[in-house]
């Protein structure tokens, strides 16, 4: 009998301990609340996936598939971009359909291919959830609603900035040993012969424009990009120019994930016509081959790898 009683007590402690182990920390601000929501499957129709299912932290909040799988393993139509370094962006998604991070945050939740949960139902779930009802009251002093849900998710994403890479050590801290001689030559190529800087510049190596790089041919490559939003023929095949920080972690590349490696991307830009002949439109910057040597390609790739933040290098050691 004594053994049975001790066993019951032990089981009780295990159950209580498990409850404490899985209790969410109480968020103190919108960022902490947004971080919890970002990883919580409560925002999907099946309660099985979350924002973090496709935006994986270890891959700079991108995915490793050409396109991600949503609820019921529904296949997406575009590659999942990184959700990092977005604070200075002017628009969001490959086609620029959202003008603010707040608008962007809600679209995947309601998208039937992705999380498939109407926003009204998502809000109702949060209102009925004891933890989130209290959390939203503490942070926003009101019940969960569409606006503060979007605000919390957006505020968390705004913290996902990276400025501590080997490149930053070299250029900002004058540490000549931070990057290799090859990477330094690659930076020169990036700003010169490679023409990369024409579209990728500034702190995050991005641009607010939409450009066509020749990945719409009207035959096999049928994603019209920006034109699907604006309905303008001039926007056929144009896509948003994203940041290059942490680019070495976010393969595969392009809006359709068609290139598996950085080298494939560099080979494409070196001579686009060889890989996608006769596109409907292609930016004039890509009208002629770059004629990069294999060594120059190595250098350019080594430079791009210096844009990886140290937080990821530390986790992979």
DSSP state of 27: P
Cite the beta strand spans of 127-277 per DSSP E.
210-211, 239-240
Which SS3 state, helix, strand or coil, does residue 47 take?
coil
For residue 104, the model assigns a pLDDT of 97
Q: Of 158, 189, 208, which residue constitutes the final position of a domain?
A: 158
Q: Are residues 175 and 151 in the same domain?
A: no
266 falls in which pLDDT band (50, 70, 90)? Answer: very high
Cite the beta strand spans of the chain per DSSP E.
210-211, 239-240
Domain that holds residue 35: 24-158
Q: What's the rounded Cα separation, in Å, for the pair 198 and 201?
A: 7
Give 62-112 pLDDT, tens digit per residue. Answer: 999 999 999 999 999 999 999 999 998 999 999 999 999 999 999 999 999
Q: What's the rounded Cα separation, in Å, for the pair 78 and 66?
A: 7
Give 197-254 pLDDT, tens digit per residue. Answer: 999 999 999 999 999 999 999 999 999 999 999 999 999 999 999 999 999 999 999 9
Q: Is the pTM of this model over 0.75?
A: yes
Is 11 domain-assigned?
Answer: no
For residue 38, the model assigns a pLDDT of 98
Domain total of the chain = 2
For residue 14, the model assigns a pLDDT of 40
Asked whether the CA dihedral 153, 63, 82, 70 is positive or negative, the reply is negative
Q: Please give the positions annotated as active site.
A: 114
Whether the pLDDT of residue 179 is over 70: the answer is yes
Is 207 domain-assigned?
Answer: yes
Given 3-state DSSP classes, what are the helix, strand and coil percentages for the chain, each rounded to the nearest 5?
45, 5, 50
Is 55 domain-assigned?
Answer: yes
Q: What's the rounded Cα separation, in Å, for the pair 208 and 301?
A: 23
Q: What's the rounded Cα separation, in Å, for the pair 142 and 48?
A: 27
As a whole number, mean pLDDT of residues 260-270 equals 98
For residue 131, the model assigns a pLDDT of 98
Q: Are residues 222 and 136 in the same domain?
A: no
């Amino acid at each position: 009998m004594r053994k049975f009683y001790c066993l019951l007590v032990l089981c009780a402690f295990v159950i209580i301990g498990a409850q404490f182990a899985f209790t969410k920390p109480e968020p103190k601000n919108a960022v902490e609340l947004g971080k919890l929501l970002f990883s919580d499957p409560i925002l999907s129709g099946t309660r099985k996936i979350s924002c973090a299912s496709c935006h994986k932290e270890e891959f700079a909040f991108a995915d490793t598939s050409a396109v991600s799988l949503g609820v019921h393993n529904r296949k997406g139509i575009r590659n999942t971009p990184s959700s990092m370094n977005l604070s200075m962006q002017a628009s969001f998604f490959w086609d620029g359909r959202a003008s603010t991070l707040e608008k962007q945050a809600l679209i995947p939740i309601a998208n039937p291919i992705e999380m498939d949960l109407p926003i009204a139902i998502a809000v109702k779930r949060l209102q009925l959830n004891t933890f989130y009802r209290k959390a939203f009251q503490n942070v926003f002093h009101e019940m969960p609603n569409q606006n503060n849900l979007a605000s919390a998710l957006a505020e968390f994403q705004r913290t996902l900035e990276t400025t501590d890479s080997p490149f930053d050590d070299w250029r900002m801290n004058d540490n000549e040993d931070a990057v290799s001689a090859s990477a330094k030559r690659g930076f020169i190529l990036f700003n010169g012969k490679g023409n990369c800087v024409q579209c990728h510049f500034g702190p995050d190596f991005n641009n607010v424009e939409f450009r066509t790089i020749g990945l719409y041919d009207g035959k096999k490559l049928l994603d019209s990009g920006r034109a699907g939003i604006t309905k303008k023929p001039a926007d056929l095949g144009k896509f948003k120019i994203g940041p290059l920080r942490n680019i070495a972690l976010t393969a595969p590349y392009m809006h359709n994930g068609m290139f598996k490696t950085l080298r494939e991307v560099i080979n494409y830009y070196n001579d686009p016509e060889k890989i996608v002949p006769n596109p409907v439109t292609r930016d004039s910057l890509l009208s002629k081959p770059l004629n990069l040597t294999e060594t120059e390609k190595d250098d350019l790739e080594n430079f791009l790898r210096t844009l990886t933040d140290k937080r990821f290098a530390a986790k992979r050691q």
